[in-house]
Structure 1
Amino acid sequence: MLPPFASDNYAPTHPEVLAAIAQANEGYAVAYGADPWTARLAERVREVFGAGAAAFPVLNGTGANVVALMATTSRWAGVVASDVAHLNTDEGGAPERVGGLKVLTRPTAHGRLTVGDIEAWAGELGDVHRAQPAVLTLTQSTELGTVYRTQDLRALVEAAHAMGLAVHVDGSRLANAAAFLGVGLRELTTDVGVDIVSLGAAKNGGLLGEAVVVLGPDDAPTPGAAAARRAAAAAVPYLRKSTMQLASKTRYVSAQLLALLGEPGTPVVSTGSTTAPLWWRNAAAANAAAARLRAGVEALGGDVVRLTRPTQANAVFATLPRDAADRLRARTLFYNWADGESPERVEARWMCGWATSDSDVAGFLAALAQSL
């Protein structure tokens, strides 16, 4: 059986993260985040995202999304999202069940919302019969492996803020987007006016845990946004506890995030192989594996396997005959994403992770050729 190409969640935990957890396991530490690791994480998040940014470790990505959205909205509010947003399709209705927030979706091309998609909800504002659009959520990179560029993000944020909406980024793969664009995490969040971030770790070499990051009020584009960020930062600790996302032994989550982001005082981002923080190295490795996989699929030639989406982060999408997909799945795990161009064909998603090696890709491509 070949290594799986179903999800970057299938990858093992990075050895540097495991070492950080082991180091954090020495001796006693105060519970619920009053520990040295969480204090250093708070310092590091200010270095990475800007002065005033506040980090709140949580247990998983769904919890991070729910807490972040609840902190920026009211119970009668709605969340503007892509139709394929993870929080809409794959979180069991948690934003609605737990957060009480209606998800307001728009159909998207390759998973990316446009300014027009946001402005389409303007007519709902002030209508007592409608869930009030209150926050825009953007998945970066998207569920379809595409990336919002900085200029596009800035336009989306400006449109949302003009309508009075806060802006949340589901950053489960934010590292992959940053590595693809060659920028730091701040450039995709603080610098374009984003208000709050679900910072991913598990898909990029972590073991268990993510973080909610409320960006600094002093970096907010308007006084209203600054006030909203202060209110969100004050609300998150209570929401985190009431939604069962506060870990008693928070130090183990914070230690992982520190291993990925780097300890305070280290370079925030560098593309050098030895100086880059672990989050960058892992994301760049996953993206490079996906690029090699895509190139190998293209090299097969013919029209039997058809690439369907841009490969910008660590995902490759293609259609192929269903029977060939079934034969390939007997050799490696992956998901059928959608129906293909005909009933006999299916669109598959092939994901790469930080640990996907050249030999893994070569073995997959050989198995794909055989399955055809």
Structure 2
Amino acid sequence: MQLPPAPQSSFASDNVAGAHPLVIEAITQANRGHFPAYGADPITVRTQRAFRELFDHDVTTHFVYGGTGANVFALATMLQPAEAIVCAAQSHINVDETGSPERILGAKLIDIPTVDAKLRPSDLEFVRSMIGNQHGVQPAVVAITQVTELGTVYSVEEIRQLSDAAHALGMYMYLDGARIANATASLGGTRDALRSFTRDAGIDVMTFGCTKAGGVFGEAVVFFNPEFARRSLFIRKLVTQLHSKMRFISAQYEAMLTDDLFITLGGQANSAAQKLFDKTRSISSLQLHTPPQANSMFPIIGVENRSVLQQWAHFYDWDVAQDQVRWMTAWDVTDEAIDQFVAGVEAVLADGRSA
């Protein structure tokens, strides 16, 4: 079988893309001169102010090393001993963090089986009987991911209803926003859209991703709840997330927030996924269930064809038992790369063999 040249862009993950030039320029500027350490530098101070303007709220923002550390840090501020986290079974904290929440926080994860990686108010009904029972952990935090691991996006109303149910039980809401740029672009592409499913929807603490959106490294943890914000300054060091040269993280965010660059880049990634879907949906032997809601697709491809395609242009298996893979687009994926990738898929599947 003769395959076309592999695309220059990868469809394996948004983590494999480079950083946006404006982010690199911001880091370069931050490298000129000496500045106070541990977040006392003027870049970090400016960027924290920019986050308050972004949310139009007196939020506390800390910059940390990466996604798993951000999750652990944020949840550590929200939990007391013998308390537990309710999350979707597919969530990153449950399956992709090597047990960090359990090991480092000593907190039990109550993972809820879901079809679409979304939690709903009805999923919290069973924890009602746990509250006050001294023989069991106390459910304290509902943790959601936006965009979810299955590429689905919570609507504003879905988050509001879940937050209302959690708060009615005395629980708090945590949002893992590793792909917050994609979610914001998907739900309207404005600052008001971002505020509608975070600040206005009852989120207490959230992460605000940078790396997947076009940054180099680092994440931000944003506190709406002042009680957790007060604890955060000391817990950040406790869980090894205090960076001495913090300006190199905050500078990236200053670039990302300027002119809402993060929303633009999230929209570009989402648009690329939609184009990929549109160009592959007519391949009869490729099973595509639903259009992408953000920047990922989960087609069904049989093992033989999958192996050929992955050797040609790597992408990840997702659910091997279902022959499901993941295709993901980054902020810098070009139309040319999409066409090249589609040409390869067509070459392998064009004979109509079972996908």
Q: TM-score, normalised by structure 2?
A: 0.93
CA contact (8 A) 2:274 2:291 kept: no
Q: TM-score, normalised by structure 1?
A: 0.89
1:247 is aligned to 243
Deviation for aligned residue 1:102: 0.9
1:293 is aligned to 276
What are the within-5 Å matches in structure 2 for residues 1-372 of structure 1?
A: 1-2=6-7, 3-182=9-188, 183-184=190-191, 185-215=194-224, 229-262=225-258, 276-300=259-283, 302=284, 304-341=285-322, 346-372=323-349
CA contact (8 A) 2:43 2:250 kept: yes
**How many aligned residue pairs are there?**
340
Counterpart CA distance in 2 for 1:187 and 1:167 is 15
Give SS of 2:301's match.
strand
What residue identity is the alignment partner of 1:202? Answer: T
Deviation for aligned residue 1:309: 4.5
Structure 1 pair 310–80 and aligned structure 2 pair: CA distance change class (3 A): farther
Counterpart CA distance in 1 for 2:206 and 2:273 is 25
What residue identity is the alignment partner of 1:36? Answer: P
Counterpart CA distance in 1 for 2:340 and 2:136 is 52
CA contact (8 A) 2:277 2:291 kept: no
| RMSD, aligned α-carbons | 1.1
Give SS of 1:80's match.
strand
Counterpart CA distance in 2 for 1:40 and 1:337 is 40
Give SS of 1:328's match.
helix
Deviation for aligned residue 1:356: 0.8
What residue identity is the alignment partner of 2:111? Answer: T
Counterpart CA distance in 2 for 1:18 and 1:91 is 28
- Structure 1: where are the runs of 5+ without partners? 216-228, 263-275
CA contact (8 A) 1:5 1:334 kept: yes
Deviation for aligned residue 1:107: 0.8
CA contact (8 A) 1:125 1:132 kept: yes
What residue identity is the alignment partner of 1:294? Answer: F
Counterpart CA distance in 2 for 1:122 and 1:6 is 40
Deviations 1:123-154 (A, max 9, x none): 11111222211001110010111100101110
Deviation for aligned residue 1:230: 2.2
Give SS of 2:312's match.
coil
- Structure 2: where are the runs of 5+ without partners? 1-5, 350-355
Counterpart CA distance in 1 for 2:334 and 2:272 is 7
Structure 1 runs of 4+ off > 6 angstroms?
none
CA contact (8 A) 1:46 1:52 kept: yes
What residue identity is the alignment partner of 1:253? Answer: I
